[in-house]
Amino acid sequence: MLNSLMLLALLSTASAEDFTVVSEDQPAPFEGVLLSVPAVAEVLAQHEEVQMKCDLEIEYQLDKANTQCKLDKNILEARIVTLEQQYKEIIAQKDLVINKQQAIIKKGAPHRKWLWFAGGIVLGGATYYGIEQKTQ
């Protein structure tokens, strides 16, 4: 445990974040890793490349989501238009049927039935009376 703590303390005070530039055959000021110029260029360029790739990926994913959203919107709009027209058509047809059927029902409306009924009684009574008069 103590050894681990000592190692951590040593690491934190070590020059892990330091760097230098050395020429050929020149001794280095500290122990470390020597990178060639192309390797350093690679490391530096990679940093920028990763950033650009990250920005590109974000932009690409946003564009993709936007396109998908647009597709969903267009499909939903088409569905809404269809449903609205469907609704109007059904209502218009129902109104038409109701009006026509109401006209048919009105032909046999109650007040006319009563007239028929009264007329029948009067006619029947008169016929009966007439026949009775004739037969006597």
Question: Is 101 an interacting residue with respect to other proteins (CB under 8 A)?
Answer: yes
Residue 29 is given by DSSP the state S
Smallest distance from the beta carbon of 104 to other proteins, in angstroms?
5
Q: According to CB under 8 A, which one of 7, 79, 119, 121 is a site residue for other proteins?
A: 79
- Show the tokens assigned to 34: 């020597």
Q: Judged by CB under 8 A, does residue 121 bind other proteins?
A: no
**Is residue 67 classed exposed, middle or buried when 0-12, 13-18 and 19+ CB atoms within 10 A define those classes?**
exposed
Q: Do 19 and 33 contact (CB within 8 A), yes or no?
A: no
Quote the CA–CA distance of 77 and 66 in Å, as a whole number: 16
Residue with tokens 């006597």: 136
Site residues (CB under 8 A) for other proteins? 15, 17-21, 29-30, 37-38, 40-42, 44-49, 52-53, 56, 60, 63-64, 67-68, 70-71, 74-75, 77-79, 81-82, 85-86, 89-90, 93-94, 96-97, 100-101, 104, 107-108, 127, 131, 134-135
